[in-house]
């Protein structure tokens, strides 16, 4: 039905429905913005926490071994810069100390299978001694 054929009451009802829908959308947008702000605050707190830790925190995709993130303490912990890791997938496998190769391979298998430990320790080859 064309607007010209609608009664005044029908047009008013449509306007009321449109106004209600606009109000609903405005409320949803406000909630979305609030959720976005809360997420940004949470991300900032997490980033601050991770960046102030003395342990190295990193994110790697599996099974391809590509590093996506390293916390700033990576150089202090490993002796290698984050860029060194980020530019070389599986770099960690290259620097595992020979005494820890079997241990590391076991942990790597666990990771691939989805068994992610909260932490584990191993020795690596000092940057001065790497070929």
pLDDT for res 121: 85
Residues 86, 124 within the same domain: yes
Its pTM stands at 0.57
Residues 61, 115 within the same domain: yes
pLDDT for res 34: 93
Beta strand extents in the chain (DSSP E only): 58-61, 66-70
Range of the domain at 109: 54-129
Residues 37, 72 within the same domain: no
pLDDT for res 131: 53
The helix/strand/coil state of 52 is helix
pLDDT for res 116: 82
Residues 21, 70 within the same domain: no
Residues 65, 125 within the same domain: yes
pLDDT, mean of each 10-residue run, the chain (131 residues) = 84 95 96 93 90 87 87 90 88 91 90 83 81 53
Burial readout 42-55 (b: 16 or more C-beta within 10 A, e: otherwise): eeeeeeeebeeeee
pLDDT for res 129: 62
Residues 67, 124 within the same domain: yes
Residues 47, 14 within the same domain: yes
pLDDT for res 31: 95
pLDDT for res 38: 93
pLDDT for res 99: 95
Residues 64, 47 within the same domain: no
Residues 118, 62 within the same domain: yes
Radius of gyration of the chain (CA): 27
**Number of domains forming the structure of the chain:** 2
pLDDT for res 114: 86
């Amino acid at each position: 039905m064309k607007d010209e054929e609608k009664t005044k009451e029908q047009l008013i009802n449509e306007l009321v429905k449109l106004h209600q829908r606009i109000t609903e959308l405005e409320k949803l947008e406000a909630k979305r913005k609030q959720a976005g702000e809360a997420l940004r605050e949470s991300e900032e707190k997490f980033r601050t926490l991770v960046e102030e830790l003395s342990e190295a925190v990193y994110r790697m995709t599996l099974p391809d071994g590509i590093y996506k993130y390293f916390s700033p303490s990576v150089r202090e912990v490993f002796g290698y810069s984050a860029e060194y890791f980020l530019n070389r997938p599986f770099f960690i496998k290259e620097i595992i100390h020979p005494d820890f190769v079997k241990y590391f391979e076991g942990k790597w298998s666990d990771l691939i299978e989805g068994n992610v430990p909260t932490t584990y320790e191993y020795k690596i080859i000092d940057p001065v001694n790497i070929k």
